[in-house]
Amino acid sequence: MSEQVREWLTPYGARRVAVEKMILPPQAEEGRAPLLICSSENIEEMLELALDGEDSICSYVEKMTQAVEQSSAQQILRQIANDALVALGEDAGELGEALELETSYQAYIRQWDEGITMFDETMTIEEDRAREGSEPAWPDSTWIERHEEGELLLLDLPIADAWQAPFIVPMGGYNECPQPFEQAVLFRDWQQRFDAVPTAVAQDTWLLQVKRRPQTREEALHLAKEHVMFCQYVLESFETIGQYAEYLQQADRWEFWWD
């Protein structure tokens, strides 16, 4: 399984690594961004689908990168909100062409009961929880042990193109997990705004390392709403979205995972 994944990713310098011999987190060279892959059946299946008979993933990455130029994070989030409305049996065209985040966000959270405390925007968080955001960068050996299924592979991507990682290592597309195209559009936007760069991927998880945190309460809440729409599970460790927003003002890493 993993040998085939490694072969498909040869153009991107994929190489097998052993966790006991690695410096964690993987060290970046100037202008390069290391990406650790916990290979799995899901990743292999998604890669094979993307390859569509080609010998490498390069043509797919090029095609999808061009398609991203015609989309935006706002459009992706609006589509996620539309999909949520469809699941509720409501009018999918209700949002029209509106691109305002708040409009999409309010439509998206209709799937939960009104007044649920999870969407309280008050930003209060325990001091020890806030400090978690500035812990050493992931992935660490504990994270790898939890997600390791097949071989561990390491790529070094041009840092300017690191947001393309969901095309190079496609995963997800099941349950609430967005498709690689949606992932990449949002990753590009977050890289431009926050220098957020993918550092590890497993069949159900992305880790991103962040260099610029949101600086204001308003910016943090805006980002928290984007994260919740992209991956609602980010709130599992927080009582409210306000707490999560405050955490993001201290965080050097983001983790997205899907059941």
> How many residues would you count in the chain?
259
Tell me what pLDDT residue 132 has: 57
pLDDT for the residue numbered 233:
95
Q: Going along the chain, which residue ranges are E strands?
A: 15-17, 32-38, 152-158, 196-202, 205-210, 253-257
Check residue 157 and give its pLDDT: 95
CB neighbourhood size of 200 (10 A): 28
What are phi and psi for residue 156, nearest 5 degrees? -120, 110
CA pair distance 95, 81, nearest whole angstrom = 8
pLDDT of residue 43: 92
Cα(119)–Cα(225) distance, rounded to whole angstroms? 9
Quick one: pLDDT at residue 149?
83
Q: Which are the contacts of 248, defined by CB distance < 8 A and separation ≥ 6?
A: 133, 213, 214, 220, 223, 224, 227, 254
**CA 58 to centroid of chain Cα atoms:** 21
Count structural domains, the chain.
1
Kindly report, residue by residue over 126-164, the tens digit of the pLDDT.
Answer: 655 555 555 556 788 888 888 888 789 999 999 999 999
157, β-bridge pairs: 33
First to last CA, the chain: 22
Residue type at 225 in one-letter notation:
K
pLDDT value at residue 162: 97
Q: CA-to-CA distance for 84 and 232, rounded, in angstroms?
A: 12
pLDDT for 148: 84
Give the pLDDT of residue 211: 94
Domain that holds residue 105: 2-257
Helix (H, G, I), strand (E, B) or coil at 182: helix
Please tell me the predicted confidence (pLDDT) of residue 123: 77
Those residues of the chain that have pLDDT short of 50 are none
Q: What is the pTM of this model?
A: 0.92
